[in-house]
Amino acid sequence: MPLHMIKLVVGLDTVEELLAWHESRGGPWIMRTRQTPKRAAELLEGGSLYRVFKGVILCRQPILAVDTVGEGVNARCEVTLEPQVVRVAPTPRRAFQGWRYLRTEDAPPDLGEASDEEMPSDLARRLREAGAW
């Protein structure tokens, strides 16, 4: 069973803003962090990086590689992600620092293939905040 990572998105409110930000930068999808996961092998067995926007998990990207670059105090981790962003059922998540592991049974399900007809993430967030969804 694969293991996943979960990380907060800071400075962006929606998946659309994340896509636009990456498009403006170009290049491969790489998430950089200071600590290399000790359970990297499990992440590479089909794991994904789940992203939290303003307290709600909204999307994931499959993990392709986990590499440590640099040495000593300059060492850091680069997690290479698949370019495809998969939207998931909006799921509340409290704030935390850095990244955390996420077990498969705790991960939100993917939204269906009819993503053109799904509720806009901003509307879904406002409904959740109002307690109506």
Tell me the per-residue pLDDT of 85-113, one tens digit each, with 9 for 90 and over: 999 998 999 888 889 999 999 999 998 74
- Residue 19 to residue 132: CA distance in whole angstroms: 28
Residue 8: is its pLDDT beyond 70? yes
pLDDT at 132: 56
Residues 6+ apart with CB under 8 A from 94: 55
- Residue 108 to residue 91: CA distance in whole angstroms: 7
Higher pLDDT, 42 or 119: 42
Q: Which residues are paired to 79 by β-bridges?
A: 31, 66
Asked if 80 and 63 count as a contact pair (C-beta separation under 8 A), the reply is yes
Beta strand 99-103 pairing with 3-9: antiparallel
Where residue 38 falls (left for φ over 0; alpha for ψ -120 to 50; beta otherwise) is alpha
- Residue 28 to residue 24: CA distance in whole angstroms: 12
